[in-house]
Amino acid sequence: MGIIVEGNILNIKEGIIIQQVNCKGKMNSGIAKSIATKYPIVKERYLKVCSLNTADNLLGKMHLVKVDTNLFFLNSFSQFSYGRDKNVKYTDEQLLINNINRAMSLSVQYKLPLFAPCYIGCGLGNGVWENILSGTKNTQVTYLKI
């Protein structure tokens, strides 16, 4: 079951951290920007994947990036494009939910806990948090809330 705890996603030292990314090769705002600043390799690998694939091909996929011995970032391509229009839902909630649930198998495989930012997909992506939380209720993910 997913739980919400106080904490900063950037302070995790061991685990798999899933984040939502768009399919257009932009990682310039929100938590993605903070992650890219602290862990430049995450952005480098993201840009490489984007350059080798079309946006249509990336939608719904995941991309794992190792940043340390027991620390990984998992990019969830569950946001096709990006913007700041509050009337546009950029997050594909079902794809995000599917990817969070699928990420649990990686967590088991690597024997590492799974983390996600609280309200993933719901800030600039305009997703509905209750839908994301409900859709991942059977997954052992820890949502970190600052």
Q: Encode pLDDT of 86-136 as tens digits.
A: 999 999 999 999 999 999 999 999 999 999 999 999 999 999 999 999 999
**CB within 8 Å of 124: residues ≥ 6 apart:** 29, 30, 82, 84, 90
Distance of CA 119 to the CA centre of its chain: 11
Q: What is the CA radius of gyration of the chain?
A: 14
Find the domain containing 99 and state its range: 3-145
d(CA 56, CA 119): 25
Looking at the structure of the chain, the number of domains it has is 1
Q: What is the pLDDT of residues 8-60, one digit of tens each?
A: 999 999 999 999 999 999 999 999 999 999 999 999 999 999 999 999 999 99
Report the CATH number that the domain containing residue 86 is assigned in CATH: 3.40.220.10
E strand or H helix at 133, and its extent? Answer: helix 129-135
